[in-house]
Structure 1
């Protein structure tokens, strides 16, 4: 399973969804969906904006969990 790690980054930095919306300009519904892993995809411009603004690499936002790990969660 592929998982988006925006929620972890937000927690580590003490940020809320409204903060991400404010500093990135990304739509509130998109941020909410990404933070809760409710999206099935992410557009490259959105990924680029998050990486540039948060100072992270794409691999820090996207996490791969093997199917075995998914069952244990």
Structure 2
């Protein structure tokens, strides 16, 4: 199982650049770059709130849970 941030997908779907997301959300460019590339291990609540407000999404739209396809009982 894995948890990933969908920010990069949302940016691509909406045609948004890093700079535009920074302006919309107030989140730093480095944080946007890391989250969009899934190169981070955590996200602060303040960052999550800024992204949700600026992009008009819910936390569940930004964070995706991916279940492992392997069968542990095999």
TM-score by length of 2: 0.87
Kindly report structure 1 stretches of 4+ aligned residues shifted beyond 2 Å: none
Gaps of 5+ in 1: none
Is residue 23 from structure 1 mapped to residue 24 from structure 2 by the alignment?
yes
Q: Which stretch shows the higher mean deviation, 35-44 or 23-32?
A: 23-32
Query: Which position in structure 1 is the counterpart of 2:56?
Result: 55
Gaps of 5+ in 2: none
Q: Distance in 2 between matches of 1:16 and 1:68?
A: 33
Structure number with the higher helix fraction is 1
Larger radius of gyration: 2
Query: Which position in structure 2 is the counterpart of 1:3?
Result: 4
Q: Distance in 1 between matches of 2:67 and 2:18?
A: 28
**Deviation sequence 1:1-24 (CA, Å, 0-9, x none):** 000000111011110111111221
What is the root-mean-square deviation of aligned Cα atoms in Å?
1.2
